[in-house]
Amino acid sequence: MKLDNLEIRSIRKSDSPKAFLDFICELIDEKAYLQIDEKPTLKWEREWLKKTNKEIKNRESIRFCAWEGKKLVAMVQAKRGLWNERDNICIGISVLKAYRGKGLGEKLLRMIIKLAKTKLKPKNIFLSVVIINKPAFSLYKKVGFKTFARFPKWAKRDNKYIDVLYMLLKK
Ligand SMILES: CC(C)(COP(=O)(O)OP(=O)(O)OC[C@H]1O[C@@H](n2cnc3c(N)ncnc32)[C@H](O)[C@@H]1OP(=O)(O)O)[C@@H](O)C(=O)NCCC(=O)NCCS
């Protein structure tokens, strides 16, 4: 796979909910280090897509998807907090296993940070990561995030609790 062969763009109203469902289910099957650990239904995904398009329209979030043909292979988002935390932007990213290690994650993360800075005018750009997720932690450090908080035994995985790190993008 060449990065040049992927189409990277925002979500569209016309996008297929099934493509998003397949994407998230593949990550859940792999037991990727994501917060979501239960497969959604197609109905849920349809509602999520509607809600997400509305958020983008209202400048509450931005999102890039990478497509190889009709297959969604990666997604990154930047989302505002609520009310008096609206100027804190939380980032999330996922790349399907077969597409990792080729620079796609870094490319998408840098793209979303650049756009979030101009479109969402944030005070803080932050994210969270389970402490055992070394690839993600290295990526975040590489693009300039620094750990500012550690929540002990926060995420449950295989009946064990794992520490979660919160990281802030350096100015
Ligand atoms: C984390 C993730 C987004 C990285 O995406 P990717 O496309 O593989 O990353 P890239 O190829 O752009 O690599 C960029 C940097 O990330 C880090 N990295 C990526 N894979 C790594 C690995 N297996 N081990 C250590 N560091 C790694 C490195 O710092 C790398 O820079 P380098 O190539 O100069 O060493 C991807 O592994 C993923 O989606 N994982 C599953 C979902 C997930 O964990 N999301 C994050 C939740 S917090």
Q: Predicted confidence band at 171 (pLDDT cuts at 50, 70, 90)?
A: confident
Q: Residue 16 above 80 pLDDT?
A: yes
Closest to 46 measured CA to CA, from 79, 75, 13:
13
Pocket of ligand 1 (CB under 6 A): 32-34, 93-95, 100-106, 129, 133-136, 138-139, 142
pLDDT value at position 3? Answer: 86
Mean pLDDT (whole number) for 52-69: 96
Distance (Å, rounded) from C-alpha 107 to C-alpha 70? 20
Task: Find the 138 Cα to ligand 1 centroid distance in Å.
Answer: 7
Beta strands in 29-134 (DSSP E): 61-68, 71-80, 88-95, 124-130
Pairing assessment for the beta strands 61-68 and 7-9 based on DSSP bridges: antiparallel
- Encoded tokens for 97: 């296993």
In whole angstroms, how far apart are CA 111 and each of 51, 118, 126?
22, 11, 15
Q: Say if residues 35 and 45 touch (Cβ distance below 8 Å).
A: no
pLDDT of 2? 82
CB distance 10 to 78 below 8 Å: no
**Ligand 1 centre from 40 Cα, in Å?**
25
Which residue has its alpha carbon closest to ligand 1 atom 24? 135
Query: In which band, very low, low, confident or very high, does the pLDDT at 1 lie, cut at 50, 70 and 90?
Result: confident
Q: What are phi and psi of 159, to 5 degrees?
A: 65, 20
pLDDT one-digit tens code per residue, 89-115: 999 999 999 999 999 999 999 999 999
Ligand 1: centre distance to CA 140 (Å): 9
Q: Whose CA is nearest to atom 26 of ligand 1?
A: 135
- Return mean pLDDT, the chain: 97
Q: What's the mean pLDDT in 117-136?
A: 98
Q: How many angstroms is it from 104 CA to the middle of ligand 1?
A: 9
Q: How far is the CA of 46 from the centre of ligand 1 (A)?
A: 29
Model confidence band, residue 83 (pLDDT cutoffs 50, 70, 90) = very high
Percent of the chain surpassing pLDDT 90: 96
Structural domains of the chain, with CATH:
3-169 (3.40.630.30)
